[in-house]
Amino acid sequence: MQTLPSDGAAGGPGGRVSRQDIAPPRADIDAAVTRINAAKRPVVIVGHGAYEARDQIMSFAEKLAAPIVTTFKAKGLVPDSHANAGGVLGRSGTPIASWFMNEADLLIVLGASFSNHTGIEKSKPIIQVDHDRMQLAKFHPVDLPIWGDITSFCAAVGSSLGAKAKAEDQIRELADRWDKWRAEKQRRLAEEYGQDIHSFAVFEALGKLAPEDAIFAVDVGNNTYSFGRYLETKGTQRVLMSGYLGSIGFGFPAAMGAWAATQDVESLQGRKVISVSGDGGFGQYPMEFTTAVKYGMDVTHILLHNGELGKISKEQRAGEWPVWETDLHNPSFAAFAKLCGGHGSKVTSADQIEGAIAEALAHDGPALVEIMTDAELV
């Protein structure tokens, strides 16, 4: 048996791993082009499986003059600041995305799993593209399932498309829908009635202040649904989550892992890491804050504190059951952060949010902003 010295070089993938780009069959490309050229209101739906093809997808949608909506897991893949962006589709999404899907005459689904959370309308004509053959038509038949690399698909179809003279101008319509949605979000602030803070106020401020290359790690609960619905992404921001919201307590530990990656991966160095949770989620692993302090982890945590497991309370009410054992007995998390040796601040009114978040983002090391929110205003 041969023993490598301890300073021996690690082996690599050479000769063991093949290329992953698989060009779709020409017949499928031709069939996709025929369907797309005939569509008046095509919509591109992008899932997490398409992340590596983000630039090609945006170019493809621009040529189509079609809206791009994402699954929640793919939030940030297409920034909301892009002219073709329609936001997140599904339970954590925007009315913009739902409206365009409902009005579409063709859905081009790239790298999405068709989860119930997303709610892709199966009665619509669908072209589904995925590099994983087992994902194609996994839950129901689609009009045109295409096995192949999404980058290759976008390039091949994009170069073969004719002029879209018959297609409706959805980009101008998108801008109008965004204007209406932003006005609606502002109106929702009036729901506060002098009580605790509306979650929209939190994510409007965070969206403005977060750097264009920020990495977000989100938790589970109403805070996460509000993040998907209200925060508008920009630039190359990345969102990390626990599958489809199955693991409460994910947010802050995931941010610690993301911070560690920014130290080891050259392309990530200097990117700001921001985590978001409710009080229930942060309460699962609060002592990890001491670990962040020990190692000087530059993580900013935004904590929406409403004193209960709000998502569970909402589900109990929806089932017409009594709300049972969802209230929480919490410390002051801002004071806790300070006792651990980090930065902590507490926000009790909407006019304090921007200043508190800006101060926390500027802090070199772990910082926590505790925002007292209303469990009903999500």
Query: Could you report the per-residue pLDDT of 169-190, keeping only the tens digit for each?
Result: 899 999 999 999 999 999 988 7
Quote the pLDDT of residue 247: 83
Q: Which residues fall within 8 angstroms of residue 303, CB to CB, at 6 or more apart? A: 277, 278, 279, 282, 333, 368, 369, 370, 371
Q: Which residues fall within 8 angstroms of residue 262, CB to CB, at 6 or more apart? A: 215, 268, 269, 270, 271, 273
Task: Please determine, for residue 248, whether its predicted confidence score (pLDDT) is greater than 80.
Answer: yes
CA gap 323, 71 in Å, rounded: 30
Among 48-62, 124-138, 300-314, the least confident range: 300-314
CB 36 within 8 A of CB 108: yes
Main-chain dihedrals φ then ψ at residue 245, nearest 5 degrees: 65, 50
Q: Can you list the domains of the chain with their CATH numbers?
A: 26-173 (3.40.50.1220), 193-372 (3.40.50.970)
Among 62-66, 93-97, 329-333, 372-376, the least confident range: 372-376
Quote the pLDDT of residue 171: 95
Considering the entire predicted model, what is its pTM? 0.90
Task: Please determine, for residue 164, whether its predicted confidence score (pLDDT) is greater than 70.
Answer: no
In eight-state DSSP terms, residue 24 is P
pLDDT (mean) for 202-226: 94
Quote the pLDDT of residue 98: 96
CA gap 184, 192 in Å, rounded: 14
Task: Please determine, for residue 134, whether its predicted confidence score (pLDDT) is greater than 80.
Answer: yes
Q: In whole angstroms, what separates CA 91 from the centre of its chain?
A: 12
Q: Which residues fall within 8 angstroms of residue 338, CB to CB, at 6 or more apart? A: 344
Q: Which residues fall within 8 angstroms of residue 225, CB to CB, at 6 or more apart? A: 91, 92, 311, 378
Helix (H, G, I), strand (E, B) or coil at 367: strand
pLDDT (mean) for 257-268: 89
Rg for the chain (alpha carbons), in Å? 22
CA gap 235, 101 in Å, rounded: 24
Quote the pLDDT of residue 87: 96
* CB-CB neighbours of 220 under 10 Å: 25
Helix (H, G, I), strand (E, B) or coil at 137: coil
**Which ranges constitute the DSSP H helices of 65-212?**
95-103, 150-160, 170-188, 199-209
Q: How confident is the model at residue 76 (pLDDT cuts 50, 70, 90)?
A: very high
Per DSSP bridges, beta strands 299-305 and 273-278 are: parallel
